[in-house]
Amino acid sequence: MSLYVYCLGDELSESAFGGLTGVCGAAVRVLSLKGRLSAVVSAAPAEPVAVSEENLQAHNRVNAAALAASTPLPFRFGTRAAHERLAEYAATNEAALAGALARVRGTVEMGVKLLSKAEGEGRKAEGGSEGGPEDLASAEAAVGRGTAFLLKKRREALGGEEARLRAEGLAAWLAEGVAGLARESAVWVSPSEAIVVRAAHLVGREGVEEYRARLRGLRAARTGLRLLASGPWPPYSFSEISGQNHPR
């Protein structure tokens, strides 16, 4: 029988999920696997699980219920496996899973996204840095077509470098802002995208309120920035056992 799998832990109790339904409305239960390891599962539907609002919320609702009692390792949405396969996975990776559970014990994941409000406006305000047709025409008149083209390319390259430095500066600013509270961080920097910095922080449960207060302080300090905070989440960004959780 194929099972839909929500999370894995060593402190999971059936009582945390009393009456809770999961993906596709199936009843949720705790399945013992290996040693103290157990998983939260429900009967898997015959078809691949649709990425619908209902199913996404159900997946996270079950993991949130687990998180309310202890910190589990959440599985990625759509994970399904036969009981035997799941038991084999737990047995094969027992030490790594125990290590991962120890790493997240007593913590929750908090998320932050930084969006630059003044990205477009800032560029316009600088004047002459857009490299538009009019700029190019006037530059051509002054220095010649080839030189104007190369000057435009130079400006674009410098602009990209500037954006990268700015994004990395924001990431460093955020890291400094939550220093001492974020036990671990996973940070993704995307200078050319609307969300310039995405960060996940592993925060001790006792530090969540102070973490939020710090973020409020950071938000107030930079009004030209949109700071979007979410959490607490099960440690989705800190659960993989391959060592690939930290892009940087």
Partner 1 sequence: MADVDNILDEDEELSLLETLDHVIDHGLVIAGEVTISVAGVDLIFLGLNVLLGSVETVERVLGERERRVELLLGMVPRAALAPKTAAGGGPADEGE
Q: Which residues bind partner 1 (CB under 8 A)?
A: 5, 7-8, 47-51, 53, 56-57, 59-61, 63-64, 73-81, 85-86, 89, 109, 111, 200, 212, 215, 219, 226-233, 236-237, 239-242, 244
Q: Is 125 or 220 the residue whose CB approaches partner 1 more closely?
A: 220
CB of 59 vs partner 1, minimal distance in Å = 5
Q: Is 95 left (phi over 0), alpha (psi -120 to 50) or beta?
A: alpha
Q: Is 116 or 139 the residue whose CB approaches partner 1 more closely?
A: 116
CB of 206 vs partner 1, minimal distance in Å = 18
CB of 197 vs partner 1, minimal distance in Å = 14
Between helix 208-221 and helix 145-177 the angle, nearest 10°, is: 140
**Amino acid letter, 24:** C
How far, in Å, CA of 122 to CA of 103, rounded? 42
DSSP 195-214: EEEEEEEEEEGGGHHHHHHH
CB of 124 vs partner 1, minimal distance in Å = 23
CB-based contact 143:151 (threshold 8 Å): yes
CB of 215 vs partner 1, minimal distance in Å = 8
CB of 242 vs partner 1, minimal distance in Å = 4
**Amino acid letter, 33:** L
Q: Is 127 or 243 the residue whose CB approaches partner 1 more closely?
A: 243
Residue 187 phi, psi (nearest 5): -125, 135
Q: Is 80 or 201 the residue whose CB approaches partner 1 more closely?
A: 80
How far, in Å, CA of 90 to CA of 37, rounded? 7
- Residues found in the chain: 248
Q: Is 71 or 139 the residue whose CB approaches partner 1 more closely?
A: 71
Tokens 């056992």 map to which residue? 241
CB-based contact 29:40 (threshold 8 Å): yes
Q: Is 87 or 151 the residue whose CB approaches partner 1 more closely?
A: 87
The Cβ of residue 56 has, within 10 Å, a number of other Cβ atoms equal to 14
